[in-house]
Chains A and B, each alone.
Chain A
Amino acid sequence: MSKLLQVLVIGVIAGSIYGFIAMGMVLVYRTTGVLNVAHGGIGILSGYVAHELIHFRHQPYYEGVAGGVAVACLLGLLFELVVVRRLPGRPDLQTAATLGLYTLLLGVVVTVPWWTTNAFQVLPSPLLNKTFRVPGTPESVTYDQVVLIVALALFSAGLYWMLRRTRIGLAMRAVSDSSAAAGLMGIRPETVSRVLWIVGFGLSGLTTMLVAPITLLDANALSLLTLKALTVAFLGGLVSLPLTVAGGLILGTLEAFNDLYLVHLPDLKYAWPFILMVVALLWRAAEKRRSVRDDAPVVAAAA
């Protein structure tokens, strides 16, 4: 029983990381149709900027974090002005541009010699190394992990609410459906687009601030997490925030289950994202068949 609880604890922590990263990508995709592949790269750069401010320039932690997120927001503004404005109505090319941006940002990180000399850099949060024991398990949980889980719950609920209830959220959805119609309703598509890219990139920076104290501030590790987060985003159909968060938690739990119960099959851990995709596809195919079956009498009657 304690082992099962351990699986759940580890799974929820890992799943929160995947879910948080995927949430930012889903937000941008849902409102622009662009898959922001640079999401991880933006986070990596802002993480290193925060590390520079805190570790090398001895600024207070929260100022360093704010500086990192501000750099991410500034990048969002620049991307909107330089790329999105020049490629209007071309989500395919905008997606390709995020690929270029991802490579460019990784290149920027490598260019600063003292950023990548130490492979085991940690973003020194005030809660670093402070842990507590989960009752009934041998597992210790850090307070940074708790902050991440709470932040995931708050941000997913907040974004869900923002997109459905707030003026800016409704404007984002309106612009994503039809920019011209939204303009006729008095919404300024340019302003909405700018806000959206700033929020999307800022969320990416914030994600790294929350994730880096748990993992490490390492470009390769964070890139790998982003790739897994893409799978999680797929599980949510790239549009559903609740399903994305659920997908992250399921993937994290399955990986933890693999680590603790299937020790003789360690490589299976890497196949879970792919297996989950197959299951999601089969499930969606079954849903489609069911909906076609439900529609059949109506079609027959119409014919």
Chain B
Amino acid sequence: MSTTAEFQIQEPVVGDAGPTTRPGRMAPARPLAARGVGAFLLATFVLMGPKLFTWAGPPAAYDFGLTVAMLVVAVSVLAWIGEISLAVVAQMGLGMVALSWFQDHTSFPLAVSLVLVTLSSIPTSLILGVFCLRLRGVNFVIASLAFAGMTQKAFFQKVLGAATSLHGRVSRPAIVRSDGALYYLIVFSLIAVVAGLYLLQRSRVGTALASLRDSETAFWTLGYSPAAYKLFVVCLSGAIATLAGAYYGLLQGTVPSFYFNPGLAIVYFGFAVAGGMGSIGGAVGGGLFFGALPKYLEVLWPSIYNKFDFLFYGLVALLIIVWVPGGLAGVGRRFWHRVEGRP
């Protein structure tokens, strides 16, 4: 066994158009019908959103789940280069702080502020990226953890305050005043992010990233720059985490500094593994499930659930890792293949 454990990441599905379709031939009826029904159900689910679950809790619970899903996507994106970062929660916090700063010091519209917040993640990501170039596997995990610890203690505690003296507020513009309106903003951003990542995975860059993860030496020998690609992925992951932080700020208004503690990144990493590392769909599903479900349970059984949230997270994550190593993405893929009638 190697003395340095590399995180082996589940292969993202690159160029998987399905074995049932060949060029020049019509797709068989069953997969086509399954895709049609699937697309309809997905569209209904997206458009209805939290309205489907009003019996279980407020729309904010669902919005929270979407924000967590976006953060878990950020964790999962780094898996494309075979790395794990536990600094995503710190980057999320920076997103919230940056949005608060833009609201206090500028009069930009929300859309412009969100773009600038996303871009503001680049310097932080580059610092992490330098470590990513030098370190691999658990060594990079520890480096990202040290960075997150420093940011939380030295920066967030000062800027956001502790639980007793909160400052650093994000106010909601009129356009997203209600939780329902905020839902549509977050969900369409998430769709844009997922669609962008999906296209990226299928582009030349995505193929290059898959080969980089398989063999960095071969990648370098073929004339590509591993450093450039790695930095790109670290910046991409940081941008998504920062955007998630901005939405989290819009959702919560004020967030105490302890929320951005590095220990929470460990929990989110557990969500990413349970969703299926490297799979964008799995990350969204895992994030939404683990992010929203506890919030609903808090409303349905407040006296019981508030005590058992970590027990729930840990038990479910452990069961999925041990019994379904491919995560929710693996389960979903198998289910979908069965629906389409694939072997």
Interface of A with B (CB < 8 Å)?
A: 29-30, 32-35, 37, 82-83, 86-87, 89-93, 95-97, 99-108, 110-111, 113, 175-179, 223-224, 227-228, 230-231, 233-234, 238-239, 267-268, 270-271, 273-274, 277, 281, 285
Contact = CB atoms under 8 A, between A and B. Distances in A.
Contacts, number: 150
Nearest to B9: A92
A253 B8 CA distance: 37
B194 interface: no
Contacts of B311: 104, 107-108, 110-111
Contact of B147 (A82, A228, A274): A274
Contacts of A89: 1
Interface of B: 1-9, 131, 134-135, 138-139, 141-143, 145-147, 149-150, 153-154, 158, 262-263, 266-267, 269-270, 273, 307-315, 317-318, 321-323, 325
A195 B272 CA distance: 31
A97 B150 contact: no
A107 B317 contact: no
B322 A270 contact: no
Contacts of B6: 92
Contacts of B312: 107
A83 B154 CA distance: 37
A267 B3 contact: no
B308 A239 contact: no
A224 B264 CA distance: 12
A100 B270 contact: yes
A96 B270 contact: yes
A230 B142 contact: yes
A233 B5 contact: no
A97 B149 contact: no
A197 B7 CA distance: 20
Which residue of B9, B146, B270, B322 has the most chain A CB atoms within 10 A of its CB atom? B146
Nearest to B325: A93
A103 B266 CA distance: 8
Given A91-B5, A273-B150, A103 B310 contact: yes
Given A92-B8, A110-B307, A274 B322 contact: no
A19 to B, nearest CB: 16
A281 B5 contact: no
Kindly list the 5 A-B residue pairs having the minimum CB-CB distance in the complex, ordered from nearest.
Answer: A104-B314, A107-B311, A107-B310, A103-B314, A100-B318
A92 B315 CA distance: 18
A97 B146 contact: no
Contacts of A97: 318, 321-322
Contacts of A102: 266, 314
